[in-house]
Structure formats: C-alpha cells, structure tokens
Amino acid sequence: MKILVTGGAGFIGSNFVHLTLEKYPEHEITVIDKLTYAGNKESLKEVIDNISFVEGDICDEDLIDQLVSQNDLIVHFAAESHNDNSIADPSPFIQTNLIGTFIILEAIRKHKKKLHHISTDEVYGDLELDDPSRFTPDTPYNPSSPYSSSKAGSDMLVRAWVRTYGIHATISNCSNNYGPRQHVEKMIPRQITNILIGSKLKLYGKGENVRDWIHVDDHNTAVWQIINKGESGEIYLIGADGEKSNIEVFNLILQEMGKDETWLEHVKDRPGHDLRYAIDNTKLIEELGWSPQYTNFEDGLRATIEWYKKNEAWWKPQKDTTEAKYRKVEA
C-alpha cells in the first residue's frame, strides 16, 4: 500500500512514520510537511532514506491533488495545534485545519482514495472536575478555543464528505499525547527541558485542570487498528485511561528529575482553560480489539524524560524562541 502522511514531520506524524516502517515495512510512505516551526525534518532523520519527503503546504491544491492521486491511503495529521497560539492569532488555524482539510477531501473524492483523519478530544469542550462521565463518540461538540473549533470544523467536513459524496473515511479523536519528538511548546516537554536548562517549571493557575494522557506510540497503534479494522464513517475515540491533573504531572516530573517544589512556579492561567478531558475508549477496545502498551503513565514519562536528555541537539534550537513567546503571555 502507498500511504501519504500529512504533517509527517510533526510530533505525532513523525512517530507514526517510525512505527509504520517498523511494523509495516512493505508499505511505501510519502510525507508532506510545510516545515513550519512545529515541523522538524530532523524527526525523520533516521528514516529519511526509506521514505519520500515533500516540503509543501496542504493548502496547495495542485500539489495535494497530485500526491493524493499517487497514493492509496491518506493519513491526515497536518494541523496547527497549539491552544495558546490560536488565542494569539487564529488565522493559521482556520487556513490549515479547515481549508487544508477541505482541499484534501476534494482530492480524495476526485481520485476515490481512503482517508483517516486525526483529530482531538478538545472538540468536545471540557468536563467538570467532579463529573464522572467521559467523552464518547456521541458527545456533542462544544469547542472552547480557536484551535479546537477549527478541528471540530474539520471533523464535520469529513463527516459531510462521507455522507454526501460517499468517500471512505474514518475519524479518530485522541486525548493528550506525550512522548519523543514533541515540540517544547507543549506542556510535558516544556517542563522537562526547563529543568534541563536550569529553569523552573511553569504551571498555569493552580494546576487543577485534568488531562487524559496517552503515549504517542499507543495513539499510533490505535490509528493502525482503525485503518485495518475500522468502518468508513465511524468515529473512534483514542485514550489510555490516563487522567491526571496538571499538578500531578508536574510533581511526577520533579520527582523523576530529582527536583523539589522550589522548582515549581505558578503563572497566569490561560484564557478559557478547559477543566477536564476524559476519553471513553470502549468502542476502540471492544470493536477493534486495541489495547495500550503504556498502561503506567510513570513508565512512559520516564522514557520521555530520557529521550529529551539524550536529544538536546533536537530540542535546543526551539527552546529560546518558545520561551520568549511564553514570557509575553505569562507576564
């Protein structure tokens, strides 16, 4: 099978490429990535000779039409994905997440190809901290930020193209990912690399907000299970029962890296900060037979910390620019 991976130099996309080459070496992979600040070709350095790489924009209609026509399956990771950035400037999120997805869908419709669309649990909004319920495929969309709104819109486009035009597409909405090759603007790698450069951890507000964490490799094995066994038009929620408050995660990072609470600094909370995300993964487990490898968050966190310790050359060029941006919003 020939596979086009959009956003394949980003965090989850590059890990998907690595996993696919390991588990499915018979497939041919083409990656398209715009190589914005969040895309890093170095994330594909070890496998670049085994794939085709195209530097390009998913909003380039002619390029996408050509690439889609040459492949059997499109796995669509490409997205602007950082909440703080979407609050500061929503326009790139509308362009990439909505217009880009529309262009991909039109090429898929024209060439009769298959699509798996990667999305987020943030499209469902948030839950109260004391609410025992979790997101399911039937939970109404209620996005809070420009980022999650643009992803909700892209999901709706995919649903509409399945129903109206009969394209073959599946959708997955995943909880918060962590693991190797994640940009240092994201919560876990930011705090790990802060300690590595001698800076304090930066915690929004009181740190009571809860996220449902999943290791990126578990996310990507679930994506493959959906590609192999999922039904067109179906929505699958990917989670690994990893609910933890932000303060719990910060304390674990401190503990794993040998630091005490004096290394923790509370900063101004994000506007509209969602309280709690939680995924009900019953459909994925019972219908498709998927199960996560990292059932213990501490094990996955420990492996992630070790990766950042060993790969300073990968993350160090991003760090100064990222912290300069944060200083403006946290002041």
Instruction: Identify residue 142 by its one-letter amino acid code.
Output: N
DSSP states of 180-191: TT--TTSHHHHH
User: Is residue 269 among the annotated active site residues?
Assistant: no
Residue indicated by tokens 């990222």:
322
CA distance 225 to 10: 21
DSSP states of 228-266: HHPPTT-EEEE--S-EEEHHHHHHHHHHHTT--GGGEEE
**Annotated catalytic residue within 147, 178, 236, 277:** 147
Instruction: Identify residue 181 by its one-letter amino acid code.
Output: R
User: Is residue 131 among the annotated active site residues?
Assistant: no
**Annotated catalytic residue within 57, 80, 121, 212:** 121
**Annotated catalytic residue within 33, 57, 122, 212:** 122
User: Is residue 42 among the annotated active site residues?
Assistant: no
Burial label for 241, CB within 10 Å (0-12, 13-18, 19+), is middle
Q: In this structure, which long-range contacts are made by residues 19-22, counting pairs with CB atoms below 8 Å and at least 24 apart in sequence?
A: 19/217, 19/220, 19/221, 19/224, 20/220, 20/224, 21/47, 21/50, 21/51
CA distance 88 to 104: 27
> What positions carry a catalytic annotation?
121-122, 147
